[in-house]
Amino acid sequence: MAFEFTDDNFNETALETDSLVVADFWAEWCGPCRMITPIIEELAKEYDGDVVIGKVNVDHNPQVAGKYSIRSIPTILLIKNGEVVKKHVGVISKQALADLIESHK
């Protein structure tokens, strides 16, 4: 199951880790976000222990969403060593996201 990032845990779990982090910014009312959810869940299982893959509900975590200027959802950030190395806005296929993960591991 994908990790749940929050305003309270984001710095510790996403920025202060040696692992690559994939953060999916989403909301319950967002149709395209619901399309990506199964992809995020599958990749979280496949990369368990290697890559931290999780979700940030923008409605419940406005501080993190604001910090990264999330204006459209879904937005996926790849974070390495505390820095955003890739930002993708919109729907993405499982293979395309897996390729992004592999290119930044």
Q: Where are the domains of the chain?
A: 3-104
**CA–CA distance, 103 with 85 (Å, rounded to integer):** 11
User: Whole-angstrom Cα distance, residue 98 to residue 52?
Assistant: 13
Q: Report the pLDDT value the prediction gives residue 57, as an integer from 0 to 100.
A: 98
Q: How far apart are the first and last CA of the chain?
A: 20
pTM assigned to the model: 0.96
Retrieve residue 90's tokens.
Answer: 């919109």
Q: How far apart are CA 41 and CA 93, in angstroms?
A: 13
| Among 27, 30, 91, 98, the one annotated catalytic | 30
CATH 3.40.30.10 at 3-104, yes or no: yes
Residue 32 has what pLDDT?
97
Active site residue 33: yes
Choosing from 33, 53, 77, 78, the catalytic residue is 33
Handedness of CA 11, 13, 17, 19 (dihedral sign): negative
Residue 13 predicted with pLDDT over 90: yes
Give the list of residues 6+ apart from residue 38 with CB closer than 8 angstroms, or none: none
Convert the pLDDT of each residue in 44-92 to its tens digit: 999 999 999 999 999 999 999 999 999 999 999 999 999 999 999 999 9
Q: Does residue 105 or residue 80 have the better pLDDT? A: 80
